[in-house]
A and B are shown apart, each in its own frame.
Chain A
Amino acid sequence: MTVKYQEKPLKIVGTRPLRPDGVDKVTGRARYAADYNLPGQLIGKVLRSPHAHARIKSIDTSKAAALPGVKALVTRDDFADMPVEYAASGELTINFRDVTRNMMAREKVFYDGHPVAAVAATSASIAREALKLIKVEYEVLPHVIDVLEAMKPDAPLLHEHQFTDGVTPKPDKPSNVAKRMVFALGSLEEGFKQADLVIEREFNTKPVHQGYIEPQACVASYTEDGQVELWTGTQGHFVFRAQLAKVLQMDVSKIRVTATELGGGFGGKNNIYNEPLAIALSRKSHRPVKMVMTREEVFRATGPTSGANVKIKMGCTRDGRITAADAELNFQAGAFAGSSVGMASMCTFTRYDLDNVRVVGNDVTVNRPKVAAYRAPGAPIAVFGVESVIDEMARKLGIDPIDFRLKNAAKEGTQTYYGPTLGPIGFVETLNRAKAHPNYRLPLGPDQGRGIATGFWFNIGKETSSTVHVNEDGTVTLIIGIVDVAGGTRATMAMMVAEEFGIDYDKVRPVVGDTSALGFNFITAGSRGTFAGGMAAVLAARDAMEKLCRRVARIRDVPPEAVAWKDGRAQPAEGSGTQFKPMSLEEIAREAGRTGGTISGHSEINAEGAGPGFGTHIADVEVDRETGSIKILRYTIVQDVGKAIHPAYVEGQFEGGAVQGIGWALNEEYVYGADGVLQNPGFLDYRVPVASDVPFIDSVIVEVPNPNHPYGVRGCGEVPIIAPMAAISNAVENAIGVRLREQPMSPPRVLKAIEAAALATTQD
């Protein structure tokens, strides 16, 4: 379902009111999952594998069970094995056979931190003591951490049953390559023949964690009549409910999930981890069970996104027209298949209008935690390679990097290599606005440089439902099923509903309903919140307004078609020739009970027509040649969002995405020892940027309306993380003439590259 965009004068949409969750958050009243407590609750803790790869020979929990204060223990024996069955979870696809093995190891452990057993006890310290008493006998197996190593035929094999999918004929030997995919358009051979300049390069990136501030937490209560209540930090409580019903073999109706305030997710809270364990422990102990991860557990066992090896080969004519584009993306999936390589493959070149394209993607299992979605999953990795090569081409040909991109830019009508033809998009507009921005012309000092890069993300719609209740005093309660992942979703939904009704923003109270309040809502992923959630909320409001008009027709005794909703009131419809005294929302609400009952509006839709988002970034850096340290001097983001419902929250998305991209580019990486054990599971040594690492970010909002949304909204939250790695790398090259094709560009890596370049120059 889509709702067509209609241009109209706006009173509330486009303004910057305070968010309804803001005061609670700054005063500490907001309740995150770890703030929920139930009478008689136990504390659950997880025993995790100390090995990267091992067969579990036996698990003996008898001593732990005998410890006073221990009320329940679970291992693989407490969960059903699941057959291969796929489901969508955010942008990525999950397989329940793997889900059940990831939440609790069965035959083998596949990574340092893989859960092996869980215990519930009357205190955290007793639970920790109990873990020490569980005896697990392992047969340690050879492990593999690196993606290229894992692809070798003689690499240690994770899954004996895994044969590379997408290869014909079907391979006769199992492999760590779970799947190979190819996207193609035109003829590469022809394309490279037409090229005057061909550049082929290889790039490597490290896995990075979503780095949400709030570790995973949940409280579960399983009652004697088989009902479950669960409070958890999630991006999608309906999707969690579905996954839990499956792995616990329960009816969906028996599980009620409340999504608590969320301290960040970024794709990392699309998947269940402790939830099924907490429910199983509660079922066994007959007590509520609370489980809160430590930061170490978050790093060892959740997220991250893939590390990858990327090969890019592109050809262009002397005047800068790209004639051929070829890519190979090798992505770490972690312990189980299902990385974001498919999404990345589709995003690799989709900013340009190209005739001859091929992208090959490989999804590779390695002995690391199973990857999760992370903000525009996979796209930044592929784009880093492509935008670096384009920068090199533009430099070699002496063409301005923005002009080079303008020559090749995708527009409305561009045929993509992965299928669809693009509708109205704002990519060219972002390039033009970036070129005209004063920051693009600021002079640079010694060892300073400027880099350009661009990003594209699909954005999605999907199942969404919403309800508006007109309260007895004329205020409105808006119930949404989109989890507010802290980006301001409640505020933007309320703004659109207030705009529809023609009432003040503060008359609408938006609430995220639990899973019993609404029909199924897909997870908050794919930048769908404001697009799909907004569409559902608008339709629910329109449904209510229609009912309000019908009610007024009855009260005023006029035909229903003679009543129209305008400026917050039911008024005589234009041209109907009928006259009656208009009624305000407040007046109707006051009489509603006596004239037919309360009025509510509903919508249950599958939102379609999400508008793709495009952005252009300008990064200015300064490099310390003696230490290899990179300082970001300025950062400018120009992005088409269709329509900014709340511009401040759009800017928040731009800034947040860019900062995460800067972290990816500069210092974030997992450090594994030779034993396959993670050495830096904490924020001290896993270095996300701190405030002083990032400059003030200049945001430019471009608005090319999405024709398939009532207010023209496209998604905006994911595009901003795509370009930073490439933009910063291009800026470094511009500053010191050294190109880094490996991320992160940490000081030791930069210094080494500077020295290698100096050596190469002297040898020349």
Chain B
Amino acid sequence: MATGSSRLRVKHERDITQVEFVDRNILDEANIQQIGEEIAALIDASKEPKLLINFASVDHLSSAALGTLITINNKMKARKGQLRLANIDPQIYEVFKITKLDRLFSIHDNAEAALASFT
């Protein structure tokens, strides 16, 4: 369970940080901003961050959420980190394809595959 008003569920395992979303719909601008800030803090807490973002609970997201994911990706690159996305609903994966962001992100069918892809 999330504590306080966090929008994320966070799990640390070995040197990998796994993140899930509390919200089924990632549409609200204030929530999206908070999600970005919370993940940025997780990235800042690690020297060479390895981050898995699990979309298993997500039904809907908007281009504003994609923007935050891109900002996270840019921050990870600057930190020489590794970012993986997993469990993206087919309808949402279509959004990644339309925007060609499936080329930008490392997207995996499930968490196991994503975890195995970290180097």
Whether A and B are associated in the same complex: the answer reads no
